[in-house]
Structure 1
Amino acid sequence: MLAPALSSTTPPSTRDDRNGESTDASITAWALAARSGDPDAFDLFVRALHRDVRRYVTFLGADPQSADDLTQDTFLRALGSLHRFEGRSSARTWLLSIARRAVIDNFRHHSCRPRLSDTEDWLSAAERAQPRDLPGFDDGIALAELLDALPADRREAFVLTQLLGLPYAEAAGISDCPVGTVRSRVARARTSLIEWLDAAEHPQMTTAA
C-alpha cells in the first residue's frame, strides 16, 4: 500500500489559510482511521502530507538523493507508530516530528561519510523543486540558497511557519522549544533574508560601502 502511494503523483499541498484548521482536522481523522486499519485512509493521509514532508526534509538539509528516501522513511515510521497516535496533536504536527527525527538519524548515520553531491548540484535541484510564486523571492534569487545560509534552527522555524504554514505553537512542538523562541527565530530569519535580498538587488551599494 505504502509504496504505490509514495510513488504516485503528489497533489498540491492541502493546507489553505482559509480552511487550514478543517483540512488538518480531515488529515487527523484519516490518520485515526488508518490506525484502525483502514488502508484507504492511510493512502489519503500519505497523499495529503507527502509534499510537506519532502519540502521539510529538504530544507532541513537533505540533499536530493536522500530527500525521497527520508520522505519514505518518515511514512514508514509513521505506519509503525500509528497505534500510538491518539489525535492529541494534529496528524501534520505528529508526522513532521517524525520527519525531523528521521533527518537527525540520517545525519548521525552519515556524519563520517563524504557527501555524494556537491553544493551546486544540491542548490540547483532544490531551486527547481521550489514554487515560483513565493512573494519576495523573485529576480532569479534562489530561495534554497538563501535558506541554506541561515542557522539550522532559524531555517527550520522559517520553513515550518512561513512555507508549510504551521501555527507557531505547532512549530514549537515539532522543534521542542517555547513558542517565543520560534517567533524570535522566524523574525531573525526574516531580517537576514531581507538584508541578503537587498544586497543582491543592489550589489553596487554593498561594494561601495
Structure 2
Amino acid sequence: MISVLPASRADRASVDASATAWALAARAGDPEAADHFVRALHGDVLRYVTHLSGDHQTAHDLTQDTFARALGSLHRFEGRASARTWLLSIARRAVADSLRRAAARPRIADAVDWRTAHECAQPRGLPGFDDGVALLDLLETLSEERREAFLLTQVVGLSYEEAAGFLGCPVGTVRSRVSRARAVLGGLLRDAEAL
C-alpha cells in the first residue's frame, strides 16, 4: 500500500525548491540533477496517478510514463511554477491518455465470472488494506471537484495556492472545496462508527 501521509509544509517547500532547481539544472544537461529531480518527486507522482487511475497495477507504468514525458519536454520547463505542479499536470494527462486508450480497447476475459475472479485476485489481509479500501470508498462519495482539491492538498501535499494554480480556480474556491470535503468525510466517518 502506498503511504498517503504528506510531508510537513516546511519539508514540502524545501523539496519543491530543490526539485525545481534540479529540473532547471537537468534542463541545462546535468544528468545527476535529472536523477535527483526524479527521486524527489517520484512518490508524489505515484500517489497521484494511483488515485486518478484507480488501478494499483498500472500506477508504476503511469509514473514511468509521466517522468518519460517530463524528461522529454524538460527543455520547455521555465520554472514559473514549481516542478511538482508542472509534473502533476503531466501525470494528469498521462492518466487521461491511458484511460482513453483502455476505453477504446476491448477487454477479453476467459473466466466465466470475470468480476469474481478479479475480486479474488486482489490482495487481502495486508496491514491497512481494509482502511485503504474504506478511504477510497469514502473519497468516491465526494464530488470530483472536492475530491481533487482534497487529494491535492491533503494527500499529495500541495499548498492551497499551488492547488489553485493546478486546478485553475481561486484559492478561496480550493479552501471551500477542501473544507466541505472534510465536513462530508467527517460526517460519513461518524455515521460509520455509530453502526
Q: Give the structure-2-normalised TM-score.
A: 0.80
Shift of 1:56: 0.7
Say if 1:59 and 1:129 are closer, same or farther in 2 by CA, change over 3 A.
farther
The 2-side partners of 1:13 and 1:47 are apart by: 17
The 1-side partners of 2:25 and 2:5 are apart by: 21
The 1-side partners of 2:127 and 2:30 are apart by: 32
Shift of 1:17: 2.2
Answer yes or no: is 1:53 the counterpart of 2:51. Answer: no
Say if 1:168 and 1:196 are closer, same or farther in 2 by CA, change over 3 A.
same
Aligned to 1:147: 139
> Would you say how many aligned residue pairs link Structure 1 and Structure 2?
185
SS at match of 2:10: coil
Shift of 1:198: 0.7
Cα root mean square deviation, aligned: 3.3
Answer yes or no: is 1:81 the counterpart of 2:59. Answer: no
Select the residue among 16, 21, 24 that pairs with 1:29. Answer: 21
Shift of 1:128: 5.9
SS at match of 2:58: helix
The 2-side partners of 1:181 and 1:201 are apart by: 30
Structure 1, unaligned runs of 5 or more: 1-9, 133-137, 204-209
Identity of aligned residues (%): 61
The 2-side partners of 1:94 and 1:35 are apart by: 14
1:146-179 CA-partner distances (Å, limit 9, x unpaired): 2233222221111110112211111122222222
Q: Superposed, which structure 2 residues align to 1:111-190 within 5 Å? A: 111-113=103-105, 121=119, 142-190=134-182
Q: Superposed, which structure 2 residues align to 1:59-98 within 5 Å? A: 59-98=51-90
The 2-side partners of 1:40 and 1:31 are apart by: 10
Say if 1:184 and 1:94 are closer, same or farther in 2 by CA, change over 3 A.
same
The 1-side partners of 2:137 and 2:39 are apart by: 27
Answer yes or no: is 1:102 the counterpart of 2:94. Answer: yes
The answer to whether the 8 A contact 1:59-1:147 is kept is no
Shift of 1:181: 2.3
Which residue identity does 1:29 align to in structure 2?
A
The 1-side partners of 2:77 and 2:177 are apart by: 29
Q: Give the structure-1-normalised TM-score.
A: 0.75
